[in-house]
Amino acid sequence: MTSPVLVTGGTGRLGRAVVARLVDADCDVRVLARHERATLPPVMFFTGDLRRGEGIDAAVRGVGTIIHCATSTKGDADAIRNLVMAAARAGSPHLVHPSIVGIDRIASWGYTKAKLEAERIVEASGLPWTILRVTQFYDYCFENSQKLAKFPVVSPVPAGFRVQPIDPGEVAARLVEFALGAPAGRAPDMAGPEVSSWVGLFRSYLTATHRRRWVVPIRIPGSRAVRGGALLPLPPHTVGTKTWDQFLTARLQEHRSDQDHAARVNGG
């Protein structure tokens, strides 16, 4: 019988997708999250706080692999440090750690600085490990486009931001591949199939949602590295297949279906 796989942050955007794929692969799955939520029936749920070091020991006991999907704008380094210490006490599980493409090229930014520190903690942990750096998720681009579209008439968009975003479902599938295999160390970066810009992504969103805005590119101070391609993957890298336009079409169809369902319920 294979050892359980623990997913930290298993109720988040990436974590949910990872958990679903592990369940499909007939894995014994555990989820560690700060607040208890409904999960798939086969999943064992643990509540805990990684930053405070609470509830981790019980979750990691007996696991063979940990996929660390939990993340926050603050405290990521403390969280992974506490997770690593608990994992080392429990044995020597394979730690699979998703990270962000280009963080060593924009390490002066607060969030990416913490993510880079988290990587170094994993590398020095003494545990078998795999680190997969990925580009920004389509969901993140979609949510930012929604916010930008709320500006009346004129929408200010970061100028020159070159990006290659990816579908989180494809990232989840890749993480599960690593989790079910041997530790790979620093894996090749992973990105979507198309290089674009924030301006280009936002204009595609406006077209898909039939909105009209005057898009004004704004130069962001301290973003020279990003304009130079810091957020793009280095070769050799793995490329996903789902495009931004395909993601947009699916997400907007899902939104319309939800609206139709709500209208039927309210009408009934």
- At position 150, the amino acid (one-letter code) is K
Whole-angstrom Cα distance, residue 211 to residue 203?
9
Cβ atoms of residues 43 and 11 within 8 Å: no
The pTM of this model reads 0.93
Q: Would you say residue 85 lies in a domain? A: yes
Please determine, for residue 255, whether its predicted confidence score (pLDDT) is greater than 70.
yes
Q: Would you say residue 211 lies in a domain? A: yes
Cβ atoms of residues 94 and 128 within 8 Å: yes
Q: Would you say residue 266 lies in a domain? A: no
32-40: Cβ within 8 A, 24+ apart: 32/6, 32/7, 32/8, 32/56, 32/59, 32/70, 33/8, 33/9, 33/70, 35/11, 37/11, 39/10, 39/11
Q: Would you say residue 60 lies in a domain? A: yes
CATH, residue 103 = 3.40.50.720
Q: Would you say residue 261 lies in a domain? A: no
pLDDT at 200: 97
Q: Would you say residue 251 lies in a domain? A: yes
Whether the bond into 168 is cis, omega within 30 of 0: no
Total number of domains constituting the chain? 1
Give the C-alpha distances (Å, rounded to integers) separating 231 from 43, 204, 228: 35, 20, 9
pLDDT at 149: 95
Residues 144-169: pLDDT tens digits?
A: 999 999 998 899 999 999 999 999 99
Residues 10-31: pLDDT tens digits?
A: 999 999 999 999 999 999 999 9
> What residue numbers bound the domain in which 108 lies?
5-256
